[in-house]
Amino acid sequence: MKLENPYPDEAARRYRDAGYWTGQTFPDLLATAAREHGGRPAVVGRDVHRQRQRWTYAELDDRARRLAAGLAGLGVAPGDRVVVWLPNVPEYLEVIWGLFTLGALPVFALPAHRESEIRYFCEHAEAVAVVTVTRHDRHDHADAARRVAKDVASVREVLVVDEGLPTGEPATPSAPEPDDVAFLQLSGGTTGLPKLIPRTHDDYLYSVRASADICGLTPGTVFLAALPAAHNFTMSSPGLLGVMHAGGCVVTAPSPDPDTCLRLVADEGVTIAAVVPPLAAVWVAAAEKNSPELPTLEVLQVGGAKCGSELAARIGPALGATLQQVFGMAEGLVNYTRLDDPDDVVLHTQGRPISPDDELRVVDPDSPDDREVAPGEVGALLTRGPYTIRGYYRAPEHNATAFTADGFYRTGDLVRLDPGGNVVVTGRVKEQINRGGEKVAAEEVENHLMAHAAVLDAAVVGVPDEFLGERTHAYVLPRDPDEAPSPADLRRFVRDRGVAAYKVPDAVEVVTSFPATGVGKTSRRELRAALAQRHTEQRHREE
């Protein structure tokens, strides 16, 4: 499958000439790792049966090729899309490498997703199969996947890892073209329906290799996958792919809590881990209390949401590791503080881009022609570069506003650049709530609330939260104030529609009117702003 919105020829030529796009493909990455590091451990962790596994690169390669053959036997073909809905288990690597080896495209779902999201991914990507587990996080994933398969015509197979994966004689790896789409990644989302992100072999693997380099990965690297493996941060910044490129070892954490993870760091000799700020905070608190011996931990990467300076300052002393801030997005651009940066950069900025050819423009968010602000001023971040997409998958209408005419992606983030080119994230202009790194599209949740027969209108806003950074607050206008559903009813209603728990509003407030925000019909955007403002004022009054 090719990109619907390809990089212009001139840009593609430049990225190749500069040596960013090398023609390497996913099957090449695994074959190289198996050749160069065959006897070294690739992955360690508890499998779907809770048995501890330790697979070398040669074993992982063999498993991937056998699975590719098994999938082909079921009729899965190169170019087919397959939704991967798995927790952090060693088989996650077997499955994605099986798909890459076959030339099928993984569509990455999060373990927290539920039936409605999986259904949507299957429909939108016309997936032929879903790969999942029987049960995870007290939820019957396989049953949900089978219900989806019954309704979505394209889905022919539900593969349940703990029931056994199909196998065959090891297949010869597929030979995709480097500008083919390798997989579809999930976006944080700002609209009613999540968007899928098409990433090519050339563009993605450039970001992986360059990230591994920036983070100094070697065959001695032991990476703890604490956040969901499917998240772009865990996958490629430098993540499990960067580690595999370097010949290091991936340790899969069954849960991100400090008890589990700090023990794994000690037991497996973890050298680098990646977390969101609320997790960093609980790891730091646990380490401050118990002072565990973590002599191997060199780097703690924190990203996905803003890491405040106070938390940033506690990380080094508590964990004995270097903090690396990471500001990235599944659409492409990733920024890192460098491991040898001075403290003021590491503690107070979100780092600088991977590539010399990442173009960053900071523009006045109210300017219709994207006028750049003065250097050092805050503005909306636009970006273009050798691993940033030029369009979402099957979303022409959204693409018309999400990208500029000359191909810059509108990140929706408010930033300023320091004189060293480091990015400081100061806020957001997009209709999204960043709930401790988990992204919630306001409109998506509003749509779920408005599906309730007794709800006339809904507005979802982010409100400050000490632990999560932000949490969600839903204002709901009932059709009939005398028959208004209760907040508990509405939260249950949203949950029962089969959506990820992190999208269920943290608080619901039933109101009799929305605040007037001007004349005529209010835009939802103004409404959200007014409600967020009202919420802040209320808090101030309470304090």
**Residues making contact with ligand OOB (CB under 6 A):** 187-188, 232-233, 237, 303-306, 325-330, 334, 350, 411, 413, 425, 428, 434, 439
Task: Please identify, using beta-carbon distances, which residue of 264 and 380 lies nearer to ligand OOB.
Answer: 380
Q: Report H helices in 90-167.
A: 90-102, 115-125, 141-151
Separation CA 390–CA 377 (nearest Å): 26
Minimum Å gap between C-beta 522 and ligand OOB is: 25
Smallest gap from Cβ 235 to ligand OOB, in A, equals 8
Minimum distance from residue 238 beta carbon to ligand OOB (Å): 10
The residue sitting closest to ligand OOB, measured at its beta carbon, is 328
Which three-class secondary structure state does DSSP give residue 475? strand
Q: How far is the CB of 385 from ligand OOB (least distance, A)?
A: 14
Question: In a 10 Å sphere around its CB, with 0-12 CB exposed, 13-18 middle and 19+ buried, how is residue 14 labelled?
Answer: middle
Q: Which is nearer to ligand OOB, 216 or 292 (CB)?
A: 216
DSSP 285-340: HHHHHH----TT--EEEEESS---HHHHHHHHHHHSSEEEEEEEETTEEEEE--TT
In the complex, least distance from residue 215 CB atom to ligand OOB, rounded to whole angstroms: 12
Asked, as a colleague might, if the bond just before 238 is cis with ω within 30 of 0, I would say: yes
- Which two tokens mark 252? 């899969």
The least CB distance from residue 269 to ligand OOB, in Å, is 24
Given the complex with ligand OOB, which of 155 and 319 has the nearer CB atom? 319
Longest C-alpha distance within the chain, in Å?
A: 70
Q: Hey, is 372 helix, strand or coil?
A: strand
Listed in sequence order, the residues at least 6 apart from 211 whose beta carbon sits closer than 8 Å to its beta carbon are 236, 237, 238, 239, 242, 334, 336, 354
Nearest Cα to 425, choosing from 461, 467, 469? 469
34 or 230: CB nearest ligand OOB? 230
Q: Which is nearer to ligand OOB, 187 or 200 (CB)?
A: 187
Place of tokens 């997790």: 279
* Phi then psi dihedrals of residue 465, to 5 deg: -140, 130
To the nearest whole angstrom, how small is the minimum distance from the Cβ of residue 350 to ligand OOB?
4
Nearer residue to ligand OOB within complex by CB, 252 or 325: 325
Tell me whether residue 425 or residue 527 sits nearer to ligand OOB (CB atom): 425
